[in-house]
Structure 1
């Protein structure tokens, strides 16, 4: 089997905006991972912010800052989902994008939770970002929320009907678990943290207790945090705020179903689990975790008869002209025509934005080739209006599978030749 590197980041931004000193790149592990999923909580979602997002910029300030930073590292924003102040973002290195299948984003109606699930190189991944009930005394509410979602959130796919049926499951967010009530005072916690005596505090951690008793999150794994509590800090500092007892509210848990396939075993290795105390924008500290997970190799996919494993569509792009009708050709191997459906479509995206979230135009995929394995796309003069960089993406009928992406190409204004210029002058 082959391996992919995946990084998860959770950050409760406390309704604060990224500032001049915000450097998202410092959250990304070196070497650069193949996939990055970022869960944000308490993103500003008032009427004014939503209006700006919908009419002007298309995304919240944190999503925009993250996309712009990660695009410089070679990532494309493939999907995002937002429920009120909860945001979940999926970024993928360009070379892996044509191997993405089964992309779905969903909310849950029971608690604040975003879900992105997908397949890549034949394995299924489900990632949840949640914000559970706050305060020390609401431990039971947090436990009940987890069990409600786990037992009631279903999918139509029989192999992954429930969340825990996926090959890999990751659950992150501001889970809001605190230290047990009447265990330690604020001053005692502060003193033990300053001495590095974290194990004593974690012995009273509500999440660890719920897992060990089987009440909640026992289906998932977590390596004990080796970093200080991530909440609550005085904004702009690394100093605990005495308004709340410090706690590890921000967590990342994981699960691998090793035996989902006959005669082979999946593997998942957590390579890091840490907080980032240098971020001062919020009363929380972001937490990240990096994993190495096994995926199918091309040879293994062929042996297992994995359907639609490789990229299906190959674009043959050249520069196009603004304000004119343009033609672009793509090819599909005859043996892969069975994966093409009547309602497949091709999205047109701005190349410099490194995002597949909002297309600026689209065409339905032609139903038959123009010659042998070649299909022709005819764009009218309303698609490429402005000069700049563009990219095409071929989607399956339900937009779940990315079957091919083009390289970035340019739209430019056609230069008039000297003869055309003379004729135009004479007409005037």
Structure 2
């Protein structure tokens, strides 16, 4: 099998705005380039002012953390594919541009979580997708806080598993996916009546983390089979990520330090006959240098097995390759333009009525806000070539654009054009009669 590099990050930002010099790309591995990046935030500011900025003033309707991430990751060649937000929880899927035409079945979901019968600001958001023949599901959770709410956190896990479903029958449930990554501020603490704040602080200074992990609520819940036992976690070798005094590396005595921010994973090795799926975790770390919140970000890098084209063909995995190929020549501003795409004849069966093509500006580095769209023509203009007719109101200013072909339900990306430039046509000087004034 081939490998796909997946990098996930969880960060409770404590309602704070990103510091002006924070580069979210610094949370990526420095020696390798992940193919796919997933960023999970909790406690994103949801004040009325923040929501006005996000929904009215923001060009792409993004919160400030997602916007900062998109801009920072764009310099590394990433495009934002999809985001989902539930109150202060946000999960965003990014991938390198070269992988975009291979994405299938992109779908988001959420589960609200209440406390003592009331809906609070907790819950889980997720995104699932297929890439190179394998399925991945990534969840971002913010569970109930405080030491004494451990049972609520355990019950929330079962609630998410039971109610969090997707439309693809083969991967309707979370745990049916080939690979599962579960991250977030899971809020598990150290067991009550064990260590005091002072004792925990001393053990952290002495790097006696194993003593603390022995009374970690999440570790115990997994051992007892109460919650998250279906997933794996490498024991953290970094200090507890909560609670810090803002802007410092000093723990706040208002709370006992704990590993609230976690990343767990699962691989269903036997999902396919005669092929064993594999996953390798390359890193699991916190980022103490980031002091933007009372939490520290946590990240993890993985390598997951994907099918080679040959294996996919042998197994009859559908829509493995891009189906639509765009052929874009000259595009002119403020004019009607006709663009062409072709479809390989053996893949015609994947086209549907109500497929559509979105127009995007390249400099947004996002597929969540199209400038315009066109329904895909139902019949070819000739052979396997289809024509798209865009009126003069689509390309209204010069710049670089791209086209994306979506399935009717918008879950599959069946083709992406290379970036192309729309320009003002060079006009020939008009021929006229020279007029002279006779004095």
TM-score normalised per structure 1: 0.97
User: Where does the alignment leave 5 or more consecutive residues of structure 1 unmatched?
Assistant: none
198-207 or 365-374, which moves further after superposition? 365-374
Q: Secondary structure at the match of 2:80?
A: strand
Distance in 1 separating the partners of 2:326 and 2:333: 20
Distance in 1 separating the partners of 2:280 and 2:162: 27
Equivalent residue, structure 1, for 2:71: 68
Displacement of 1:164: 0.5
Q: State the Cα deviation string for residues 349-394 of structure 1 (Å, max 9, x = none).
A: 1101110011110000011111112111000011111111111100
Contact 2:109–2:127, Cα closer than 8 Å, also in 1: yes
Distance in 2 separating the partners of 1:300 and 1:367: 32
Distance in 1 separating the partners of 2:427 and 2:54: 39
Distance in 2 separating the partners of 1:153 and 1:291: 24
Distance in 1 separating the partners of 2:382 and 2:367: 30
User: Which of the numbers 196, 201, 222 marks the counterpart of 1:190?
Assistant: 201
Distance in 2 separating the partners of 1:310 and 1:25: 29
Equivalent residue, structure 2, for 1:54: 55
1:280-291 matches, within 5 Å, as: 280-291=291-302
1:111-130 matches, within 5 Å, as: 111-130=122-141
Q: State the Cα deviation string for residues 33-74 of structure 1 (Å, max 9, x = none).
A: 000000000001122211211122121111111000111101
Displacement of 1:151: 2.1
Equivalent residue, structure 2, for 1:350: 361
Distance in 1 separating the partners of 2:325 and 2:68: 31
Equivalent residue, structure 1, for 2:378: 367
Contact 2:82–2:92, Cα closer than 8 Å, also in 1: yes
RMSD, matched Cα: 1.4
Distance in 1 separating the partners of 2:329 and 2:208: 61
Equivalent residue, structure 1, for 2:102: 99
22-31 or 272-281, which moves further after superposition? 22-31
1:12-411 matches, within 5 Å, as: 12-29=12-29, 30-57=31-58, 58-110=61-113, 111-411=122-422
Q: Secondary structure at the match of 1:251?
A: strand
Contact 2:80–2:366, Cα closer than 8 Å, also in 1: yes
Equivalent residue, structure 2, for 1:11: 11
Displacement of 1:337: 0.5
Distance in 1 separating the partners of 2:112 and 2:214: 33
Q: Secondary structure at the match of 1:143?
A: helix
TM-score normalised per structure 2: 0.95
Distance in 2 separating the partners of 1:318 and 1:17: 43
Q: Secondary structure at the match of 2:54?
A: helix
Number of residue pairs matched? 424
25-34 or 7-16, which moves further after superposition? 25-34
Segments ≥4 residues shifted beyond 6 Å: none
Distance in 1 separating the partners of 2:81 and 2:330: 24
Equivalent residue, structure 1, for 2:427: 416
Q: Secondary structure at the match of 2:90?
A: strand
Q: State the Cα deviation string for residues 180-216 of structure 1 (Å, max 9, x = none).
A: 0111111111111111110001001000000000000
